[in-house]
Protein backbone atom coordinates (compact mmCIF):
# COMPACT_ATOMS: atom_id res chain seq x y z
CA UNK A 1 0.00 0.00 0.00
CA UNK A 2 1.15 3.55 -0.77
CA UNK A 3 0.79 4.94 2.74
CA UNK A 4 1.78 8.48 1.77
CA UNK A 5 -0.88 8.59 -0.92
CA UNK A 6 -3.49 7.24 1.49
CA UNK A 7 -2.50 9.86 4.08
CA UNK A 8 -2.97 12.69 1.62
CA UNK A 9 -6.30 11.24 0.57
CA UNK A 10 -7.75 11.70 4.06
CA UNK A 11 -5.64 13.71 6.49
CA UNK A 12 -5.45 17.49 6.96
CA UNK A 13 -2.23 17.94 8.92
CA UNK A 14 -1.91 20.57 11.67
CA UNK A 15 -0.09 23.85 11.18
CA UNK A 16 0.65 23.02 7.56
CA UNK A 17 0.02 24.38 4.09
CA UNK A 18 -1.04 21.12 2.50
CA UNK A 19 0.20 22.25 -0.91
CA UNK A 20 3.75 21.91 0.49
CA UNK A 21 3.07 18.19 0.81
CA UNK A 22 3.08 17.89 -2.98
CA UNK A 23 6.88 18.22 -2.91
CA UNK A 24 7.49 16.97 0.64
CA UNK A 25 5.02 14.14 1.28
CA UNK A 26 4.28 13.05 4.86
CA UNK A 27 6.92 10.78 6.36
CA UNK A 28 5.24 7.63 7.64
CA UNK A 29 6.79 6.73 11.00
CA UNK A 30 6.57 3.13 12.13
CA UNK A 31 8.36 3.09 15.46
CA UNK A 32 10.43 5.11 17.88
CA UNK A 33 13.23 4.49 20.35
CA UNK A 34 15.05 7.09 22.44
CA UNK A 35 15.52 10.21 20.33
CA UNK A 36 15.16 8.16 17.13
CA UNK A 37 12.15 7.78 14.86
CA UNK A 38 12.11 5.13 12.12
CA UNK A 39 9.97 5.34 9.00
CA UNK A 40 8.39 2.41 7.16
CA UNK A 41 11.51 2.08 5.02
CA UNK A 42 13.78 1.85 8.07
CA UNK A 43 15.29 5.33 7.76
CA UNK A 44 16.20 6.94 11.09
CA UNK A 45 15.37 10.53 12.04
CA UNK A 46 16.86 12.23 15.11
CA UNK A 47 13.92 13.90 16.87
CA UNK A 48 15.64 16.96 18.34
CA UNK A 49 12.42 18.94 18.70
CA UNK A 50 10.83 16.27 20.94
CA UNK A 51 7.84 15.92 18.59
CA UNK A 52 6.53 19.41 19.33
CA UNK A 53 8.41 19.67 22.63
CA UNK A 54 6.45 17.00 24.51
CA UNK A 55 8.68 13.92 24.33
CA UNK A 56 10.64 14.26 27.54
CA UNK A 57 12.37 10.93 28.13
CA UNK A 58 12.63 9.40 24.67
CA UNK A 59 10.21 7.51 22.48
CA UNK A 60 8.91 4.21 23.85
CA UNK A 61 10.52 4.68 27.25
CA UNK A 62 10.27 1.21 28.83
CA UNK A 63 9.19 2.45 32.26
CA UNK A 64 6.41 4.72 30.99
CA UNK A 65 5.21 2.06 28.55
CA UNK A 66 5.09 -0.48 31.37
CA UNK A 67 3.11 1.86 33.62
CA UNK A 68 0.47 2.43 30.95
CA UNK A 69 0.26 -1.29 30.10
CA UNK A 70 -0.31 -2.10 33.76
CA UNK A 71 -2.99 0.56 34.14
CA UNK A 72 -4.92 -0.32 30.98
CA UNK A 73 -5.89 -3.71 32.39
CA UNK A 74 -7.22 -2.12 35.59
CA UNK A 75 -9.10 1.04 34.62
CA UNK A 76 -9.00 2.85 31.27
CA UNK A 77 -11.29 5.80 32.07
CA UNK A 78 -14.00 6.95 34.44
CA UNK A 79 -16.10 10.11 34.73
CA UNK A 80 -14.15 12.54 36.93
CA UNK A 81 -17.20 14.27 38.43
CA UNK A 82 -17.97 12.71 41.83
CA UNK A 83 -15.62 9.85 40.97
CA UNK A 84 -11.86 9.64 41.33
CA UNK A 85 -9.11 7.04 41.25
CA UNK A 86 -5.72 6.29 42.78
CA UNK A 87 -3.54 7.40 39.82
CA UNK A 88 -5.00 10.93 39.87
CA UNK A 89 -4.62 11.25 43.63
CA UNK A 90 -1.09 9.87 43.55
CA UNK A 91 -0.11 12.22 40.74
CA UNK A 92 -1.26 15.24 42.77
CA UNK A 93 0.66 13.98 45.80
CA UNK A 94 3.83 13.64 43.74
CA UNK A 95 3.43 17.00 42.02
CA UNK A 96 3.05 18.72 45.39
CA UNK A 97 6.66 17.73 46.12
CA UNK A 98 8.02 19.70 43.14
CA UNK A 99 5.59 22.53 42.43
CA UNK A 100 6.29 26.14 43.47
CA UNK A 101 5.09 27.02 46.95
CA UNK A 102 1.38 27.69 47.33
CA UNK A 103 0.08 25.75 44.34
CA UNK A 104 -2.12 22.99 45.73
CA UNK A 105 -5.40 22.57 43.83
CA UNK A 106 -5.49 20.63 40.55
CA UNK A 107 -8.03 20.97 37.75
CA UNK A 108 -7.48 18.43 34.96
CA UNK A 109 -7.93 18.88 31.20
CA UNK A 110 -6.78 17.05 28.10
CA UNK A 111 -4.49 19.52 26.28
CA UNK A 112 -2.51 22.67 26.87
CA UNK A 113 -4.93 25.10 25.23
CA UNK A 114 -7.72 23.74 27.43
CA UNK A 115 -5.63 24.39 30.55
CA UNK A 116 -5.14 27.99 29.42
CA UNK A 117 -8.89 28.38 28.88
CA UNK A 118 -9.51 27.06 32.40
CA UNK A 119 -6.97 29.44 33.91
CA UNK A 120 -8.53 32.48 32.21
CA UNK A 121 -12.06 31.49 33.26
CA UNK A 122 -10.93 30.70 36.80
CA UNK A 123 -9.36 34.12 37.17
CA UNK A 124 -12.37 35.98 35.78
CA UNK A 125 -14.83 34.05 37.96
CA UNK A 126 -12.68 34.48 41.06
CA UNK A 127 -12.75 38.27 40.72
CA UNK A 128 -16.47 38.22 39.92
CA UNK A 129 -17.19 36.26 43.09
CA UNK A 130 -14.92 38.32 45.34
CA UNK A 131 -16.38 41.75 44.65
CA UNK A 132 -14.46 42.83 41.55
CA UNK A 133 -16.79 42.16 38.60
CA UNK A 134 -15.10 44.96 36.63
CA UNK A 135 -12.00 42.78 36.22
CA UNK A 136 -12.93 41.29 32.85
CA UNK A 137 -9.79 41.72 30.74
CA UNK A 138 -6.43 40.01 30.43
CA UNK A 139 -2.89 41.22 29.83
CA UNK A 140 -0.37 39.32 27.74
CA UNK A 141 3.02 39.91 26.18
CA UNK A 142 3.83 40.65 22.58
CA UNK A 143 4.90 37.55 20.61
CA UNK A 144 3.29 35.29 23.20
CA UNK A 145 1.90 31.86 22.33
CA UNK A 146 -0.65 30.13 24.57
CA UNK A 147 -2.53 27.78 22.26
CA UNK A 148 -5.07 27.92 19.46
CA UNK A 149 -8.54 27.67 20.96
CA UNK A 150 -10.19 31.08 20.92
CA UNK A 151 -9.41 32.22 24.47
CA UNK A 152 -5.85 30.92 24.31
CA UNK A 153 -5.43 32.43 20.84
CA UNK A 154 -6.65 35.79 22.12
CA UNK A 155 -3.93 36.06 24.77
CA UNK A 156 -1.37 34.85 22.24
CA UNK A 157 0.44 37.48 20.21
CA UNK A 158 1.97 35.67 17.23
CA UNK A 159 0.16 37.01 14.18
CA UNK A 160 0.87 33.87 12.16
CA UNK A 161 -1.70 32.08 14.32
CA UNK A 162 -4.07 34.85 15.41
CA UNK A 163 -4.23 37.66 12.84
CA UNK A 164 -7.06 36.18 10.77
CA UNK A 165 -9.22 35.46 13.82
CA UNK A 166 -8.94 38.82 15.57
CA UNK A 167 -12.63 39.68 14.93
CA UNK A 168 -13.51 36.65 17.08
CA UNK A 169 -11.07 37.26 19.93
CA UNK A 170 -11.09 38.90 23.37
CA UNK A 171 -9.85 42.47 23.65
CA UNK A 172 -6.50 41.77 25.32
CA UNK A 173 -4.15 44.40 26.74
CA UNK A 174 -0.89 43.75 24.87
CA UNK A 175 2.43 44.62 26.51
CA UNK A 176 5.49 45.29 24.39
CA UNK A 177 8.92 43.99 25.22
CA UNK A 178 11.12 40.94 25.79
CA UNK A 179 13.12 40.88 22.56
CA UNK A 180 16.49 40.75 24.31
CA UNK A 181 18.37 40.20 21.04
CA UNK A 182 17.05 43.48 19.67
CA UNK A 183 16.73 45.29 23.01
CA UNK A 184 15.33 48.80 22.56
CA UNK A 185 17.21 49.90 25.67
CA UNK A 186 20.62 48.82 24.42
CA UNK A 187 21.00 46.21 27.17
CA UNK A 188 21.71 42.48 27.16
CA UNK A 189 19.70 39.78 28.91
CA UNK A 190 22.53 38.82 31.25
CA UNK A 191 23.36 42.32 32.51
CA UNK A 192 20.16 44.35 32.57
CA UNK A 193 17.70 45.45 35.21
CA UNK A 194 14.74 44.59 32.96
CA UNK A 195 14.34 48.19 31.87
CA UNK A 196 11.64 47.00 29.46
CA UNK A 197 9.48 46.25 32.51
CA UNK A 198 8.41 49.88 32.45
CA UNK A 199 5.95 48.85 29.73
CA UNK A 200 4.28 46.49 32.21
CA UNK A 201 4.16 49.19 34.86
CA UNK A 202 2.52 51.58 32.39
CA UNK A 203 -0.09 48.99 31.45
CA UNK A 204 -0.88 48.19 35.09
CA UNK A 205 -1.17 51.87 36.01
CA UNK A 206 -3.69 52.34 33.23
CA UNK A 207 -5.59 49.06 33.16
CA UNK A 208 -5.08 47.11 36.41
CA UNK A 209 -8.52 47.90 37.79
CA UNK A 210 -10.17 46.16 34.81
CA UNK A 211 -7.62 43.33 34.57
CA UNK A 212 -8.23 39.86 35.98
CA UNK A 213 -4.86 38.31 35.13
CA UNK A 214 -1.66 38.59 33.16
CA UNK A 215 -0.43 35.44 31.45
CA UNK A 216 3.20 34.75 30.53
CA UNK A 217 5.45 32.01 29.24
CA UNK A 218 8.08 32.10 32.00
CA UNK A 219 11.59 32.94 30.70
CA UNK A 220 11.07 31.42 27.25
CA UNK A 221 8.70 32.54 24.51
CA UNK A 222 8.81 29.40 22.42
CA UNK A 223 6.81 29.98 19.25
CA UNK A 224 8.17 33.52 19.02
CA UNK A 225 11.55 31.97 18.14
CA UNK A 226 12.79 30.69 21.48
CA UNK A 227 13.13 34.19 22.90
CA UNK A 228 14.75 34.09 26.34
CA UNK A 229 14.40 36.76 29.02
CA UNK A 230 15.75 37.24 32.60
CA UNK A 231 14.17 35.74 35.76
CA UNK A 232 14.11 39.22 37.30
CA UNK A 233 11.20 40.03 34.99
CA UNK A 234 9.09 37.39 36.74
CA UNK A 235 10.03 38.64 40.20
CA UNK A 236 9.01 42.18 39.30
CA UNK A 237 5.83 40.91 37.74
CA UNK A 238 4.85 39.01 40.88
CA UNK A 239 5.32 42.14 42.99
CA UNK A 240 3.22 44.22 40.61
CA UNK A 241 0.41 41.65 40.49
CA UNK A 242 0.24 41.63 44.29
CA UNK A 243 0.09 45.41 44.38
CA UNK A 244 -2.85 45.62 41.97
CA UNK A 245 -4.75 42.40 42.80
CA UNK A 246 -4.08 40.88 39.39
CA UNK A 247 -3.52 37.14 38.98
CA UNK A 248 -0.27 35.89 37.52
CA UNK A 249 -0.81 32.89 35.21
CA UNK A 250 2.31 30.92 34.31
CA UNK A 251 2.03 28.98 31.08
CA UNK A 252 4.59 26.26 31.84
CA UNK A 253 3.22 23.93 29.18
CA UNK A 254 6.42 24.19 27.14
CA UNK A 255 8.83 25.43 29.83
CA UNK A 256 8.11 22.96 32.63
CA UNK A 257 9.64 19.59 33.40
CA UNK A 258 13.31 20.46 33.07
CA UNK A 259 13.22 22.24 29.72
CA UNK A 260 14.90 25.35 31.16
CA UNK A 261 17.30 23.44 33.39
CA UNK A 262 15.01 23.43 36.42
CA UNK A 263 11.80 21.56 37.08
CA UNK A 264 9.81 24.69 36.27
CA UNK A 265 10.94 27.94 34.68
CA UNK A 266 9.49 29.83 37.64
CA UNK A 267 12.08 28.10 39.82
CA UNK A 268 14.71 30.40 38.27
CA UNK A 269 12.84 33.40 39.68
CA UNK A 270 12.61 31.73 43.08
CA UNK A 271 16.40 31.50 43.11
CA UNK A 272 16.60 35.28 43.17
CA UNK A 273 15.09 35.18 46.65
CA UNK A 274 17.09 32.24 47.95
CA UNK A 275 19.74 34.32 49.70
CA UNK A 276 17.56 35.94 52.33
CA UNK A 277 19.30 37.81 55.14
CA UNK A 278 18.18 39.88 58.12
CA UNK A 279 18.44 43.02 56.00
CA UNK A 280 16.19 41.63 53.27
CA UNK A 281 14.06 39.20 55.29
CA UNK A 282 10.90 40.52 53.68
CA UNK A 283 12.05 39.18 50.33
CA UNK A 284 9.49 36.73 49.02
CA UNK A 285 9.63 33.74 46.72
CA UNK A 286 7.82 34.64 43.50
CA UNK A 287 5.25 32.03 42.50
CA UNK A 288 2.27 32.19 40.12
CA UNK A 289 -1.38 32.13 41.12
CA UNK A 290 -2.18 29.59 38.41
CA UNK A 291 0.26 27.32 36.60
CA UNK A 292 -0.67 25.44 33.42
CA UNK A 293 1.06 22.13 32.69
CA UNK A 294 1.00 19.75 29.73
CA UNK A 295 3.48 18.42 27.09
CA UNK A 296 6.23 16.87 29.26
CA UNK A 297 3.65 16.08 31.95
CA UNK A 298 3.10 12.58 30.53
CA UNK A 299 6.43 12.33 28.76
CA UNK A 300 4.69 12.92 25.44
CA UNK A 301 2.69 9.71 25.77
CA UNK A 302 -0.87 10.77 26.50
CA UNK A 303 -2.94 13.95 26.09
CA UNK A 304 -3.30 15.57 29.49
CA UNK A 305 -3.04 19.01 31.06
CA UNK A 306 -3.54 20.54 34.49
CA UNK A 307 -4.30 24.04 35.72
CA UNK A 308 -2.87 24.17 39.24
CA UNK A 309 -3.95 26.98 41.54
CA UNK A 310 -3.90 28.21 45.14
CA UNK A 311 -6.12 27.56 48.13
CA UNK A 312 -7.19 31.20 48.03
CA UNK A 313 -8.56 30.95 44.49
CA UNK A 314 -10.16 27.56 45.20
CA UNK A 315 -11.94 28.93 48.29
CA UNK A 316 -13.70 31.60 46.22
CA UNK A 317 -15.61 28.82 44.42
CA UNK A 318 -16.46 26.78 47.54
CA UNK A 319 -20.05 27.31 48.69
CA UNK A 320 -23.52 25.80 48.69
CA UNK A 321 -24.50 24.60 45.22
CA UNK A 322 -27.46 26.96 44.89
CA UNK A 323 -25.13 29.96 45.37
CA UNK A 324 -23.93 29.29 41.80
CA UNK A 325 -20.23 29.61 42.54
CA UNK A 326 -19.02 26.24 41.22
CA UNK A 327 -16.51 26.18 38.38
CA UNK A 328 -18.70 24.73 35.63
CA UNK A 329 -15.97 23.66 33.26
CA UNK A 330 -15.38 20.06 32.24
CA UNK A 331 -13.49 17.80 29.84
CA UNK A 332 -14.59 14.28 29.02
CA UNK A 333 -11.11 12.86 29.53
CA UNK A 334 -10.19 14.96 32.56
CA UNK A 335 -8.05 12.97 34.97
CA UNK A 336 -7.72 10.00 32.60
CA UNK A 337 -6.12 7.10 34.55
CA UNK A 338 -3.81 6.06 31.70
CA UNK A 339 -2.42 9.58 31.38
CA UNK A 340 -2.11 9.92 35.15
CA UNK A 341 -0.15 6.65 35.32
CA UNK A 342 2.22 7.91 32.64
CA UNK A 343 2.63 11.23 34.48
CA UNK A 344 3.41 9.50 37.78
CA UNK A 345 6.10 7.41 36.12
CA UNK A 346 7.63 10.49 34.48
CA UNK A 347 8.09 12.11 37.90
CA UNK A 348 9.61 8.93 39.30
CA UNK A 349 12.05 8.62 36.38
CA UNK A 350 13.11 12.25 36.74
CA UNK A 351 13.92 11.59 40.40
CA UNK A 352 15.31 8.05 40.24
CA UNK A 353 17.62 8.69 37.30
CA UNK A 354 18.62 12.30 38.12
CA UNK A 355 17.46 13.26 34.64
CA UNK A 356 17.50 17.06 35.01
CA UNK A 357 20.93 17.12 36.65
CA UNK A 358 22.41 14.95 33.90
CA UNK A 359 20.67 17.01 31.22
CA UNK A 360 22.17 20.19 32.65
CA UNK A 361 25.66 18.74 32.34
CA UNK A 362 25.03 17.91 28.67
CA UNK A 363 23.42 21.32 28.15
CA UNK A 364 26.76 23.05 28.80
CA UNK A 365 28.40 20.91 26.15
CA UNK A 366 25.50 21.45 23.73
CA UNK A 367 25.61 25.23 24.01
CA UNK A 368 29.39 25.29 23.70
CA UNK A 369 29.51 23.42 20.41
CA UNK A 370 26.50 25.25 18.95
CA UNK A 371 28.28 28.54 19.56
CA UNK A 372 31.56 27.22 18.17
CA UNK A 373 29.94 25.88 15.03
CA UNK A 374 27.34 28.53 14.23
CA UNK A 375 28.51 31.92 15.50
CA UNK A 376 31.24 32.23 12.83
CA UNK A 377 28.62 32.08 10.06
CA UNK A 378 27.90 35.48 8.52
CA UNK A 379 24.13 34.98 8.73
CA UNK A 380 23.96 33.90 12.37
CA UNK A 381 22.95 36.84 14.51
CA UNK A 382 22.63 35.17 17.90
CA UNK A 383 22.89 31.80 19.60
CA UNK A 384 20.77 31.67 22.77
CA UNK A 385 20.24 28.82 25.17
CA UNK A 386 18.44 27.75 28.30
CA UNK A 387 18.67 24.18 29.54
CA UNK A 388 19.07 21.87 26.55
CA UNK A 389 17.25 24.35 24.32
CA UNK A 390 19.56 26.05 21.83
CA UNK A 391 18.28 28.55 19.27
CA UNK A 392 20.13 30.00 16.29
CA UNK A 393 18.66 33.19 14.84
CA UNK A 394 19.49 33.68 11.17
CA UNK A 395 19.70 37.26 9.91
CA UNK A 396 20.50 39.11 6.72
CA UNK A 397 23.03 41.36 8.45
CA UNK A 398 24.82 40.71 11.75
CA UNK A 399 25.49 44.36 12.45
CA UNK A 400 21.99 45.71 11.86
CA UNK A 401 20.25 42.46 12.95
CA UNK A 402 18.04 42.80 9.90
CA UNK A 403 15.98 39.62 9.43
CA UNK A 404 16.18 37.46 6.36
CA UNK A 405 13.52 37.88 3.68
CA UNK A 406 10.72 35.72 5.09
CA UNK A 407 9.37 35.01 1.59
CA UNK A 408 12.49 32.93 0.90
CA UNK A 409 11.44 30.51 3.69
CA UNK A 410 15.08 29.88 4.56
CA UNK A 411 14.28 27.94 7.72
CA UNK A 412 11.94 25.68 5.79
CA UNK A 413 14.61 24.98 3.18
CA UNK A 414 17.05 24.02 5.96
CA UNK A 415 14.38 21.80 7.48
CA UNK A 416 13.89 19.90 4.21
CA UNK A 417 17.63 19.47 3.70
CA UNK A 418 18.08 18.17 7.25
CA UNK A 419 15.31 15.60 6.77
CA UNK A 420 17.28 14.15 3.87
CA UNK A 421 20.11 13.57 6.33
CA UNK A 422 17.90 12.13 9.05
CA UNK A 423 17.49 15.08 11.45
CA UNK A 424 14.11 16.55 12.42
CA UNK A 425 14.57 20.29 13.05
CA UNK A 426 11.38 22.17 12.00
CA UNK A 427 12.66 25.76 12.55
CA UNK A 428 10.48 28.59 13.83
CA UNK A 429 10.58 30.87 10.82
CA UNK A 430 14.28 31.60 10.40
CA UNK A 431 15.22 30.49 13.89
CA UNK A 432 16.77 27.02 13.92
CA UNK A 433 16.49 25.39 17.31
CA UNK A 434 17.15 22.22 19.24
CA UNK A 435 14.74 21.15 21.99
CA UNK A 436 15.55 17.46 22.38
CA UNK A 437 14.42 14.84 24.88
CA UNK A 438 16.30 15.29 28.15
CA UNK A 439 18.07 11.96 27.62
CA UNK A 440 20.04 13.03 24.52
CA UNK A 441 23.71 11.95 24.57
CA UNK A 442 26.80 13.85 23.39
CA UNK A 443 27.28 11.64 20.33
CA UNK A 444 23.82 12.62 19.10
CA UNK A 445 24.47 16.26 19.96
CA UNK A 446 27.58 16.13 17.76
CA UNK A 447 25.70 14.52 14.89
CA UNK A 448 22.63 16.77 14.83
CA UNK A 449 24.66 19.96 15.11
CA UNK A 450 26.94 18.81 12.29
CA UNK A 451 23.94 18.13 10.08
CA UNK A 452 22.26 21.42 10.98
CA UNK A 453 25.48 23.29 10.26
CA UNK A 454 26.01 21.61 6.90
CA UNK A 455 22.42 22.25 5.83
CA UNK A 456 22.56 25.89 6.95
CA UNK A 457 25.80 26.46 5.06
CA UNK A 458 24.37 24.80 1.96
CA UNK A 459 21.18 26.84 1.90
CA UNK A 460 22.78 30.16 2.84
CA UNK A 461 26.10 29.49 1.08
CA UNK A 462 28.01 30.66 4.18
> CA triplet 341, 46, 346: central angle to 5 degrees?
15
pLDDT at 462 (0 to 100) = 78
Do 391 and 14 contact (CB within 8 A), yes or no? no
pLDDT at 304 (0 to 100) = 98
pLDDT, tens digit, 9 for 90 and up, residues 165-217: 999 999 999 999 789 999 999 999 988 999 999 999 999 999 999 999 999 99
pLDDT band at 59 (very low <50, low <70, confident <90, very high): very high
pLDDT at 288 (0 to 100) = 98
Stretch 99-107: mean pLDDT, rounded?
A: 97
pLDDT, tens digit, 9 for 90 and up, residues 156-166: 999 889 999 99
| pLDDT exceeds cutoff 70 at 281 | no
Stretch 362-389: mean pLDDT, rounded?
A: 98
| pLDDT exceeds cutoff 90 at 456 | yes
pLDDT at 246 (0 to 100) = 98
Give the separation between CA 195 and CA 74, rounded to whole angstroms.
Answer: 55
Q: pLDDT averaged over the chain?
A: 95
pLDDT at 275 (0 to 100) = 52
Q: Indicate if 66-352 has the same CATH topology as 3-60+355-460.
A: no
pLDDT at 173 (0 to 100) = 98
Do 138 and 120 contact (CB within 8 A), yes or no? yes
Residues in the chain: 462
| pLDDT exceeds cutoff 70 at 51 | yes
From 35-49, 264-278, 313-327, the region with the lowest mean pLDDT: 264-278
Who contacts 223 (Cβ-Cβ below 8 Å, separation ≥6)? 145, 158, 161, 428
pLDDT, tens digit, 9 for 90 and up, residues 215-240: 999 999 999 999 999 999 999 999 99
Stretch 68-89: mean pLDDT, rounded?
A: 98
What is the percent of the chain with per-residue pLDDT over 90, rounded to a whole number? 93
pLDDT at 331 (0 to 100) = 95
pLDDT band at 271 (very low <50, low <70, confident <90, very high): confident
pLDDT at 90 (0 to 100) = 98
Stretch 302-324: mean pLDDT, rounded?
A: 97
pLDDT at 190 (0 to 100) = 87
pLDDT at 284 (0 to 100) = 60
Compute how many other C-beta atoms are within 10 angstroms of the C-beta atom of residue 41. 8
pLDDT at 394 (0 to 100) = 98
pLDDT at 272 (0 to 100) = 78
| pLDDT exceeds cutoff 70 at 254 | yes
> CA triplet 391, 289, 236: central angle to 5 degrees?
60
pLDDT band at 276 (very low <50, low <70, confident <90, very high): very low
CATH number corresponding to 3-60+355-460: 3.90.1150.10
Virtual torsion, Cα 176, 180, 185, 187, nearest 10 deg: 160
Model confidence pTM above 0.85: yes
- Provide long-range contacts, Cβ within 8 A and 24+ apart, for 20-25: 24/416, 24/419
pLDDT band at 279 (very low <50, low <70, confident <90, very high): very low
| pLDDT exceeds cutoff 70 at 278 | no
**Where do the domains of the chain lie?**
3-60+355-460, 66-352
Higher pLDDT, 51 or 278: 51
Of 345, 259, 273, 329, whose CA–CA distance to 66 is shortest? 345
CATH number corresponding to 66-352: 3.40.640.10
Stretch 52-75: mean pLDDT, rounded?
A: 98
Amino acid sequence: MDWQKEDLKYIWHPCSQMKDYETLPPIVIERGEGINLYDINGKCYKDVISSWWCNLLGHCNPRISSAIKKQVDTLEHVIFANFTHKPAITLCQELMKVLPEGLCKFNFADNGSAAIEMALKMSFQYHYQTGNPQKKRFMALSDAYHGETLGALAVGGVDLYSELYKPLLLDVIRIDGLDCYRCKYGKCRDCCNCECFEKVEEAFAKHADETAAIIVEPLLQGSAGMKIYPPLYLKKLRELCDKYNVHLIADEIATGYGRTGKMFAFDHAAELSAGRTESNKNTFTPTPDIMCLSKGLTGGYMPMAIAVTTQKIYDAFYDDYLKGKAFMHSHTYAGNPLACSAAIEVLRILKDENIIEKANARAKYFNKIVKEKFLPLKNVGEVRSIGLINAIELVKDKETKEPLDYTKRTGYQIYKKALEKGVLLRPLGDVIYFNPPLIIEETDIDYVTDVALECTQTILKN
